[in-house]
């Protein structure tokens, strides 16, 4: 598209298609008080230069919108189950000290706390652990269950939700990490942890899209 100079009339056509498209050549001509034949060369130039897209029997689309739309459509097609990472989990009675060690060893900022059979009990983040660490309590004695955010207040994702849903939740709830879960009953409270979705996951997808790889 880059450097071509648009005439005034081509600019008007673009504006009409941008606000009203899809629209036929006939309708554009009507609006400008011109004939279809007069417009034909302009429409051909705009289409060849990539400003407009023409579809038979439908009309002209503004192509400028397209990239954003394609990107959005792609994000909405990518499923959490195809992009989730392995969850790092600990038991409820794990000490804050051991949770901090696990964070360093596993190189994560959030750990999921589980009951028997990997059922989600809570989430413990860096700040949750720092709160205990700067207090008077002994980090060896305090279990993570005392400082974690607990069920049912945990924001979760299922494998069939989309990467867009996941990114939206991270932003809306201002968190870094979301457990990917499989509900084991209809109560919505018995959730088996099967993965994690984090800001790093999104950064990876973004880089892959930037490299035009298949994701």
Binding residues for ligand ADP, rule: CB under 6 A, are 109-110, 123, 125-128, 149, 153-155, 175-178
The answer for 83, left when phi > 0, alpha when psi is -120 to 50, beta otherwise, is alpha
Give the length of the chain: 215
Q: Furthest-apart CA pair in the chain: how many Å?
A: 84
User: Least separation, in Å, of the C-beta of 174 and ligand ADP?
Assistant: 6
In this complex, which beta carbon is closest to ligand ADP, that of residue 81 or of residue 150? 150
Pairing of strands 110-114, 120-125: antiparallel
The distance from CA 112 to its chain's CA centroid, rounded to whole angstroms, is 21
In this complex, which beta carbon is closest to ligand ADP, that of residue 128 or of residue 161? 128
**Distant-in-sequence, close-in-space partners of 93: CB < 8 Å, separation ≥ 6:** 143, 145
User: Least separation, in Å, of the C-beta of 149 and ligand ADP?
Assistant: 3
In this complex, which beta carbon is closest to ligand ADP, that of residue 20 or of residue 176? 176
User: Least separation, in Å, of the C-beta of 118 and ligand ADP?
Assistant: 16
In this complex, which beta carbon is closest to ligand ADP, that of residue 29 or of residue 180? 180
φ, ψ of residue 5 in degrees (nearest 5): -90, 125
User: Least separation, in Å, of the C-beta of 208 and ligand ADP?
Assistant: 23
Pairing of strands 157-158, 177-183: parallel
């Amino acid at each position: 598209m880059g450097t071509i100079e648009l005439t005034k009339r081509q600019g008007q056509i673009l504006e009409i298609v941008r606000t009203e498209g899809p629209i036929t050549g006939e309708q554009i001509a009507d609006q400008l008080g011109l004939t279809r034949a007069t417009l034909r060369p302009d429409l051909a130039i705009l289409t060849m230069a990539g400003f407009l897209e023409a579809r038979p029997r439908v009309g002209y689309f503004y192509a400028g919108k397209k990239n954003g739309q394609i990107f959005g459509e792609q994000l909405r097609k990518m499923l959490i189950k195809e992009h989730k990472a392995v969850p790092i989990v600990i038991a409820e009675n794990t000490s804050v000290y051991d949770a901090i060690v696990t964070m360093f060893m596993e190189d994560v900022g959030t750990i999921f706390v589980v009951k028997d059979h990997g059922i989600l009990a809570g989430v413990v983040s860096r700040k949750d652990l720092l709160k205990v660490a700067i207090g008077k309590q002994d980090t060896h004695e305090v279990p993570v269950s005392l400082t974690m955010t607990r069920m049912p207040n945990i924001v979760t994702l299922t494998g069939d939700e989309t990467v867009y849903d996941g990114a939206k939740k991270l932003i809306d709830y201002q968190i870094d990490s979301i457990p990917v879960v499989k509900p084991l009953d209809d109560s919505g409270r018995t959730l088996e942890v099967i993965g994690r979705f984090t800001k790093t996951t999104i950064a990876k997808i973004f880089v892959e899209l930037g490299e035009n790889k298949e994701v």
